[in-house]
Amino acid sequence: MSGVTEAPGAAEAGDDARASRKLGLYLTLPAQLLVLFIAVFPLLMQLYISLTGWSPLTGMGWWNAWSLWNSFQNYVELAVDNRWWSALLRTLLVMVVCVPAEFLLGLGLATLFMDNFYGKRAFYSILLMPMMVVPAVAGYMFFMLFQSGGPVNDLLSTLSGQNIAIAWLSNPSLAMVAVMVADIWQWTPLMFLILLAGLVGVQEDQLKAATLLGANWRQRFVTIMLPRMKTIIIIALAIRTIENFKIFDTLYIMTGGGPGVATETISVYIYKLITNDLNWGYVAAIALVILLTLSVALGIAISRMGKASTEVTK
């Protein structure tokens, strides 16, 4: 017999650990499979289809798409697709106008709501209402508002004293303006809500301390409120940037992407590709490119913003 005796129960303990790891695996397996199915499977399927010329019109199931394999031809086509590039530019234009406008309006309103005024609660409810309107309904509302005989022109006529009948939705540049107005109307409340939460979260003592040190309102806003709201501002901007990039429903009901392609954003373009051309291999390629670009761009933007705001406070 060797002099080394194993501690009693050591082997059993090892077995126990192995057994409990196994049990853990079995218990979480269904959830893991579900996640795999929801997240990874469609992505792989999309990647697969994007490398083929498959369309539902071929009558084949998507799993047979390999017979129409065209390697990276869809991606090459996309790179030289003028309609795609224009749609992307329009989408970015809407984004750089709408998101800052919503942010500034939301911040302004949130600041107003820090003070008490008569009817504050009522105004609060009214302000949040646009956010709760179904986007399709909002689209219809603005479609009606911007008719040449509609309320917007009536209002302008009353204000200017002249008879104004602008054809908002059939003028290529004005249609874009109308679409932006609708987006700003609908999503400023969300900005307002998030930023108000941020403002309320700035400790009162900090503001009082700054006031007692002689800081005026503007100084308090710039040196205390904004830096302390940094995180929430980044979150608000990120949410709206992502959402705005996907702008579709309101816009589609107002203009259908027209006149011509004047308001055709990438979502509208993809929608048309899916329903009109049924070129689904191409759509899959576009979708993948958008997903990749958006993820990378947003990742860079958020880390930049974080760094920038820490430097500002230094």
Partner 1 sequence: MTSIRLDTLTKKFGAFSAIRTMDLEVHDGEFMALLGPSGCGKSTTMNIIAGMERPTSGRVLFGDRDISNVPMTRRGVGFVFQNYAIFTHMTVRQNLAYGLKARGTAGAETDRRVGAIADFLQLTPFLDQPSAKLSVNILQRIAIGRSAIVEPSIFLLDEPLSNVDAAFRAVMRTELKHLQRQFRQTMVYVTHDQLEAMTMADRIAVMDHGVLQQVGTPLEVYNNPVNIFVARFIGSPGMNLLPATLVELGGRLHADLGKAGLSRALTAPLAAAARGQKSRDVWFGFRPEELSVAADTAGLTLAVTFIERIGSRTIAHFDAGGVAVKGVFENDVALQAGSTAHVVAQEQSVRLFDRATGQAIVGD
Contact between 73 and partner 1 (CB under 8 A)? no
- For residue 52, which phi and psi values (nearest 5 degrees)? -130, 170
Q: Which tokens is 115 given?
A: 């003070």
The secondary element (H helix, E strand) that includes residue 255 is helix 249-255
Q: Nearest approach, Cβ of 90 to partner 1 (angstroms)?
A: 38
- For residue 262, which phi and psi values (nearest 5 degrees)? -60, -30
In Å, how far are 148, 164, 184, 261 from 87, measured between CA atoms?
26, 31, 20, 8
Tell me whether residue 177 or residue 210 sits nearer to partner 1 (CB atom): 210
- Site mask, partner 1, residues 152-191, x = CB under 8 A? ----------------------------------------
Tell me whether residue 208 or residue 246 sits nearer to partner 1 (CB atom): 208
Q: Total number of residues binding partner 1 (CB under 8 A)?
A: 20
Q: Nearest approach, Cβ of 49 to partner 1 (angstroms)?
A: 49
In Å, how far are 158, 160, 234 from 164, measured between CA atoms?
9, 8, 41
Q: Nearest approach, Cβ of 119 to partner 1 (angstroms)?
A: 21
Q: Nearest approach, Cβ of 308 to partner 1 (angstroms)?
A: 14
Tell me whether residue 158 or residue 203 sits nearer to partner 1 (CB atom): 203
Amino acid at 269: Y
CA-CA distance, 56 to 279, in Å (whole number)? 8
Q: Nearest approach, Cβ of 120 to partner 1 (angstroms)?
A: 19
Q: Which tokens is 186 given?
A: 């609908």
Contact 169, 143 (CB under 8 A): yes
Tell me whether residue 184 or residue 224 sits nearer to partner 1 (CB atom): 224
Three-class DSSP category at 117: coil
Burial class (CB in 10 A: 0-12, 13-18, 19+), 298: middle
Q: Site residues for partner 1, window 184-243 (CB under 8 A)?
A: 203, 205-206, 208-216, 219, 223-224, 227-228, 230
Tell me whether residue 171 or residue 223 sits nearer to partner 1 (CB atom): 223
Residues in touch with partner 1 (CB under 8 A): 203, 205-206, 208-216, 219, 223-224, 227-228, 230, 313-314
